[in-house]
Amino acid sequence: MQFRLTNTLTREKQTFTPIDPNNVGLYVCGVTPYDNSHIGHARAYVVFDVLYRLLRHIYGENHVTYVRNFTDIADEIIKRAAERNEEPTALAEHHIQSFYADMDALNVLRPNIEPRVSTHIGSMVEMTDELLAKGYAYVTPSGDVIYRTQKFPRFGQLARRKLDEQQHGSRVAEDTEKESPNDFVLWKANAKSATKMEQAFNPKDYGAQHFSAPGRPGWHIECSAMSRQHLGPTFDIHGGGEDLQFPHHCCEIAQSEALLPAGQPMANYWLHNGFITVGGTKMSKSLGNFTTIKDALQKYSPEAIRLWLLQTHYRKPVDYSDEALKAAQQRANRWQRISEEIMPDHLLNVPLPKEFIEALADDLNTSEAMAILESWPDKIGKVRMMQFLGLLVRAQSMEESPEEIQLLLDRKKARIEKNFPESDRLRDLLKEEHGIIVEDGPNGQTWRRA
């Protein structure tokens, strides 16, 4: 089978070859938890959830490491917390829990590692120090540490920008202490703080040799430091929304690759999903045209939202409208009725159709995969494909491990053979060790997560 992905680095569909098929690394930029997430966030995390499911299918469940961070220390959090007279950490924690509730509702699998800025200050200080030591950064009179983009001529290449055309990242304030307007902050000293609510860390406490002003990390450095710590200096796939290409991902590349031998990339494949638009305009917080995931879930089922997001190729824009969501809801309802006819038992060990996986392996062509599902002749096959796409949210979560599937099959067999002590033993084992509650009904054995 050919597995190909469109790599933003080359703007071409390339065969995907992992560095180590026994441990495929995927890093996706996470959220800044200062507010409820909107449908634009849902798109990115649903798209990369399908990629994660596909990688697990191809390389094996335990051979993929998915890392997604939380920017739990950030200007937006500090500002919002000051407005509400709250502690920034409490505000961030509240929105992290809100984000989890949204992701769980949308049946997005949890990544393997979810690093937070607050627990990774040491790795960021270390990387900032290395960049200073190699001349890729400088300390300003007020104590900030700034990346020297003029020393990295490829800056902006991922986003096909030439250095002199570049604008500032909107998340970096104008700063007259910079050598070049493209330079960006690695460490923000607290000296210029207006609110004094900033969470300040002392670089010396983390072993810094080349800078000393108490402060906190800039935004971009976290992904470079966290991906290096959890996936190594070069890993397989880095993903995120198209809007992160510049400046964020260009900054990540500048930071990480400045510390690598020439020609060694931070990530071999960069994947970007398209925007959610509203009447053709990008959905964003700043434009005020956004719908939160929670609002959308009030009106539409999670299956309908996932189905609507996945029926368009991930690189193309998806327009949000009630008409589009209503149409997706009708399709989801029709699929739901099919899935209700299938008992969970019927799906155990049902292989996925080859053409379905081939469609997904062709640059994550979910619309083609859904067309195959739609025209598939038998219902069990259809429901198996729905399950793979995470579209059986309410019916059966069906994220059982191979071991759990075997236990369920063994219990079913024991019941058929009327070996009740054994079937009771397996029922208790599934409940106590796996949190799966098994019940016997007129159509056989069913189960749910406790």
Nearest-approach distance from CB 184 to Zn ion, in angstroms: 13
Rounded CA-CA distance 161/154 in Å is: 9
> Given the complex with Zn ion, which of 214 and 232 has the nearer CB atom?
232
Burial class from Cβ neighbours inside 10 Å (0-12, 13-18, 19+) for residue 422 reads middle
In angstroms, the Cα distances linking 72 to 35, 127, 199, 255 are: 11, 19, 11, 20
Please state the separation of Cα 43 from the chain's center in Å: 10
Closer residue to Zn ion in complex, CB, 32/445 = 32
Task: Please give the helix or strand (H or E) that residue 65 lies within, else none.
Answer: strand 64-68
CA angle 207, 180, 182 (to 5 degrees): 85
Residue whose CB is less far from Zn ion, 214 or 233? 233
Q: How far is the CB of 254 from Zn ion (least distance, A)?
A: 13
Cβ 248 to Zn ion, closest distance in Å? 5
CB of 171 to Zn ion, least distance (A): 12
The CB-of-187 to Zn ion minimum distance in angstroms stands at 17
According to DSSP, residue 275 is labeled P
Residues in contact with Zn ion by CB under 5 A are 29, 223
DSSP conformation letters of 277-341: EETTEEP-TTTT---BHHHHHHHS-HHHHHHHHHTS-TTS-EE--HHHHHHHHHHHHHHHHHHHT
C-beta of 223 vs 436, nearer to Zn ion: 223
What's the closest the beta carbon of residue 27 comes to Zn ion, in angstroms? 8
29 vs 54, beta carbon nearer Zn ion: 29
For residue 93, what are its two tokens? 């924690």
Residue 244 or residue 373: which is nearer to Zn ion going by CB? Answer: 244
H runs (alpha helix) in 19-87: 39-59, 75-84
